[in-house]
Amino acid sequence: MTLPEKILIVGGGVFGLSTALSLRERHPTLQITVVESAPIPNPHGSSVDTSRIVRADYASAAYSKLANAAIQRWRATAWGAEGRYTQNGLLLVYPENSASAQAYARQSYANVRALEGENVVFLPSKRDVLGVVPAYGEDLDVAGGYVNWGSGWSDAAAGVRFAKQRLDTDGRVQFKRGEVESLLYDSSTAKPKVKGVSLVGGETLHADLVILATGAWTGRLVDMRGKAVATGQAIAYIKISDAEQRELENLPTILNFATGIFIIPPRNNLLKIARHAYGYRNPVTLPVPGANRSSGESMEVSMPDTHAPVPLEGQEAFRDALKQLLPRFVDRPFVTTRLCWYTDTPDSPNGDFIISYHPEYDGLFLATGGSGHGYKFFPVIGDKIVDALEGTLEPELRDMWTWTEPVSTEAATDVIPDGDGSRSGARDSILKDELAKTAKASRTSVL
Ligand SMILES: Cc1cc2nc3c(=O)[nH]c(=O)nc-3n(C[C@H](O)[C@H](O)[C@H](O)COP(=O)(O)OP(=O)(O)OC[C@H]3O[C@@H](n4cnc5c(N)ncnc54)[C@H](O)[C@@H]3O)c2cc1C
């Protein structure tokens, strides 16, 4: 499929920048513009943080293979240079009595063992796990797991900065700062066509093709009910001493598959603990977007609140996890907490991305649905997105990522499926309610 001349990418995170890099590479004569509402790297975007795990450890063979291709680039090209990638290993553990976590670990072990061979070691008992992370101490409450020394982590702000600098080197991709308020439609044809965007403030930008790489904010611009939902995920940081930094900095990342809790080795005396959970929703009422926006219809959808702290519920989950994994830090205060927003895909148990033309509009393509695992694919996802744009994406990925049916709002649900069983927390947490409980608890503790 021939791509049109003028392409507008909305969003300057992993999906948007990676698309721009691949489009520029493959089609040097196209006019490509990236419009982003924040400075890049956007500290509130989900692509930007101190660290993101880079692993091929998936029970799904397709993601495992794609992640392995990305890891080759993190390891051996400029993507991973200058501290952007550290190969410290990933220790995947499961507690007693968690059949689903054990089953995932075994399937994931088989996939990565086939890719990494001797780099991957099965650890059938707690003693074997402790042999890998003695610093975690005898109180470590796990039944077994495996370690993959071929996995690592990336400095996520540095990764985004690197991609942006690459794009800036020759100026072939234009950047525009602005917040897209709505899409512009030509409704004169049977299938309406997107012809550009309107920015907050009234400016319009016209394009032959608009690619939305707007992450957890996508539901403002397109009706994503049932397809994508923004869920707030908890992160907290603990200050540690120089001696603790030295002791922990070269350990593998530990991921408890039963609780979704993970701890990435510290940098700059900050230890990060995070949780892969069902997450907090932040429902807001918005006009239903689309070619019929003027109808006045409204909808309730979850949108990111990037300034809220982690509610008490999340902080307590971290304390419980520390009790299990690193008990000596259990009473150490969190110096900072953050909610980072996943773009979850409720119709897909495997957290499949949405990389697809829109089923109802010509000239509109979506590259989103990161579902908490998109960062690692930064060096390769743009190529897959451009394959999908050109209609040459390999069938397995195409079937996983294509959006075929229009949204049926009556049937739409934003309930996240169980998936691989690694998510924790409540399924129906509303951020506002959890923050109210947090405020009440802090008032009670003062009295
Ligand atoms: C807590 C947490 C932990 C994670 N851990 C991992 C991990 O360990 N490994 C891994 O591989 N992945 C991980 N992920 C997932 C990964 O970070 C995401 O899948 C990926 O970064 C998503 O990229 P994106 O481009 O879709 O979104 P974003 O980075 O959020 O980019 C979207 C951009 O679009 C812009 N935008 C939105 N709306 C508009 C508008 N209307 N106008 C203009 N600009 C707009 C936003 O400002 C934003 O910068 C994690 C995510 C979170 C939240």
Average pLDDT over residues 148-153: 97
Would the CB of 55 count as within 6 Å of ligand 1?
no
- The closest of 349, 355, 316 to 415, measured between CA atoms, is 349
For position 161, what pLDDT does the model report? 98
Mean pLDDT of 168-173: 95
pLDDT tens sequence across 253-302: 999 888 899 999 999 999 999 999 999 999 999 999 998 877 789 999 99
Q: What pLDDT sits at residue 411?
A: 67
Domain of residue 186, residue span: 1-51+155-228+347-412
Whether 237 is in a domain gets the answer no
- Asked whether 314 lines ligand 1 (CB < 6 A), one says no
What is the pLDDT at residue 259?
Answer: 86
Q: Are 94 and 101 spatial neighbours (Cβ–Cβ below 8 Å)?
A: yes
Q: Say if 159 falls within a structural domain.
A: yes
User: What is the C-alpha to C-alpha distance for residues 252 and 202, in angstroms, rounded to an integer?
Assistant: 50
Calpha distance 102→313 (Å, rounded) = 26
pLDDT bin (cut points 50, 70, 90) of residue 413 is confident
417 has pLDDT over 80: no
Structural domain contains residue 202: yes
pLDDT at 257: 82
Please list, in sequence order, all residues whose beta carbon lies within 8 angstroms of the beta carbon of residue 13, skipping any fewer than 6 positions away.
42, 45, 46, 47, 48, 160, 213, 215
Where residue 325 falls among pLDDT bands split at 50, 70, 90?
A: confident
Residue 122 located in a structural domain: no
- pLDDT score, position 314: 97
Q: How far is CA 408 from CA 34, 225, 292, 299, 368, in A?
A: 31, 8, 15, 13, 19
C-alpha 47 – ligand 1 centre gap (Å): 4
Does the CB atom of residue 214 touch ligand 1 within 6 A? yes
Pick from 287, 301, 368: nearest CA to 46: 368
Question: According to the model, what pLDDT value does residue 423 have?
Answer: 84
Mean pLDDT of 401-420: 78
Say yes or no: CB of residue 260 within 6 Å of ligand 1.
no
pLDDT band at 175 (very low <50, low <70, confident <90, very high): very high
Mapping DSSP to helix (H, G, I), strand (E, B) and coil, where does residue 302 land?
strand
Q: Which two tokens stand for residue 207?
A: 């394009």
22 lies in some domain: yes
Per-residue model confidence (pLDDT) at position 409: 74
pLDDT at 1 over 80: yes
Ligand 1 contact via 376 beta carbon (within 6 Å) = yes
The CATH number of the domain where 208 resides is what?
A: 3.50.50.60
What is the whole-number distance in angstroms between the Cα of residue 287 and the centre of ligand 1? Answer: 23
Write the DSSP string, 141-155. ---EEEEETT-EEE-
Tally Cβ neighbours within 10 Å of residue 436: 12
Q: Which of 40, 46, 231 to mutate to test the pocket of ligand 1 (most atoms within 8 A of CB)?
A: 46
Whether the pLDDT of residue 399 is over 60: the answer is yes
**Confidence at residue 446, expressed as pLDDT on a 0 to 100 scale:** 57
Binding site membership of 11 for ligand 1 (Cβ less than 6 Å): yes
Q: Which residue's CA is the closest to the ligand 1 atom numbered 37?
A: 214
On whether residue 335 sits in a domain, the answer given is: no
Mean model confidence pLDDT for the chain: 94
**Ligand 1 neighbour 324 (Cβ under 6 A):** no
Protein residue with least CA distance to atom 4, ligand 1: 372
For the CA of 341, the closest atom of ligand 1 is 53
What pLDDT is attached to residue 447? 55
Higher-pLDDT residue of 417 and 37 is 37
CA 155, CA 379: separation in Å to the nearest integer? 14
pLDDT > 90: what percent of the chain? 81
Evaluate whether residue 380 is within a structural domain.
yes
Q: Is residue 132 in contact with ligand 1, taking CB distance under 6 Å? A: no
**DSSP per-residue codes, 358-408:** -SS-BTEEEEE--TT--GGGHHHHHHHHHHHHHT---HHHHHHH---SPP-
Low-confidence winner among 41-50, 88-97, 99-108, 205-214 (lowest mean pLDDT): 99-108
Number of domains into which the chain is organized: 1
Residue 414: CB partners within 8 Å, gap ≥ 6? 225, 226, 229, 281, 301, 302, 346
What digits encode the pLDDT tens for the residues 194-252?
Answer: 999 999 999 999 999 999 999 999 999 999 999 999 999 999 999 999 999 999 999 99
Query: Is the beta carbon of 373 within 6 A of some atom in ligand 1?
Result: yes
Residue 376, pLDDT > 80, answer: yes
- Say if the ipTM goes beyond 0.95: yes
Pocket test for ligand 1, best of 203, 375, 416 (most atoms within 8 A of CB): 375
pLDDT value at residue 445: 67
Query: Measured from the CA of 14, which atom of ligand 1 is nearest?
Result: 25
User: What does DSSP assign to residue 190?
Assistant: S
Tens-digit pLDDT profile for residues 109-142 = 998 999 999 999 999 999 999 999 988 878 787 8
Let me know: does 422 contact 258? Beta carbons within 8 Å: yes
The answer to whether residue 313 sits within a structural domain is no
Distance, CA of 12 to CA of 39 (rounded, Å): 9
CA distance 253 to 258: 15
pLDDT in tens, 39-50: 999 999 999 999
How far apart are the CA of 407 and the centre of ligand 1, in A?
23
Contact 21, 30 (CB under 8 A): no
